[in-house]
Chains A and B, each alone.
Chain A
Amino acid sequence: MRQILHILTQPNDPLAAKIIAAQRQEPDHQVRVADLTVPEADYHALLQEIFSSDSIEVW
């Protein structure tokens, strides 16, 4: 299982949304999203996610 983390730094990013949706179709991908554009963004959780991810995609 490939752990993929998307970090969103811009609101309403259509390309990121498209890539996330396509990757979620793959059964061997576990896709997680850290949305830093919202006030309640959890940076401590993000740090843990970064250390446990195979692929980190920053948008």
Chain B
Amino acid sequence: MKPSWLLIITSDPRTSARPAEAIRIAAGVGTWKKADVSVYLRGPAVLALSEFADEFIDEDNYTRYFPIIGEFGRPIYVEQGAPRLAEIGESPMRYQEISDVELAALAARHNHVARF
């Protein structure tokens, strides 16, 4: 069974380079298919799903690496009811809202969980 890794991203992509770096790492690790990589966005990090990444730090990472993550065969998980979801417009990414209890179960199923 392949190892699995969940990246929890909570930083604001407009003010922090951490979300962009997390997405780059997730794409880089997952693309080899030797580990199952999942991404969860919470709070202001849900803005990373926006149609336009112009205002984000290291914006190229979003256009270059997010599509790779989209090919992993699972949605981007996001905080259910996150207020910022109303601001993302037509997201190019497939995403799924999950509750905190579902996040706890998701984390428990993964071998490694890291927060960015």
Contact = CB atoms under 8 A, between A and B. Distances in A.
Interface residues of A, number: 15
Interface residues of B, number: 17
Contacts of A58: 112-115
A26 B101 CA distance: 11
A36 interface: no
Interface of B: 8, 10, 42, 100-101, 103-105, 107-115
Nearest to A16: B115
A56 B10 contact: no
Nearest to B114: A58
Contact of A23 (B104, B112, B115): B104
Interface of A: 2, 4, 15, 18-19, 22-23, 26, 29, 54-59
Given A23-B107, A26-B105, 11 more contacts: A2-B108, A15-B42, A19-B103, A22-B103, A26-B108, A55-B108, A55-B109, A56-B112, A58-B113, A58-B114, A58-B115
B75 to A, nearest CB: 20
22 contacts: A4-B108, A15-B42, A15-B115, A18-B104, A19-B103, A22-B100, A22-B101, A22-B105, A23-B104, A23-B105, A23-B107, A26-B105, A54-B111, A55-B107, A55-B108, A55-B109, A55-B111, A55-B113, A56-B112, A57-B107, A57-B113, A58-B114
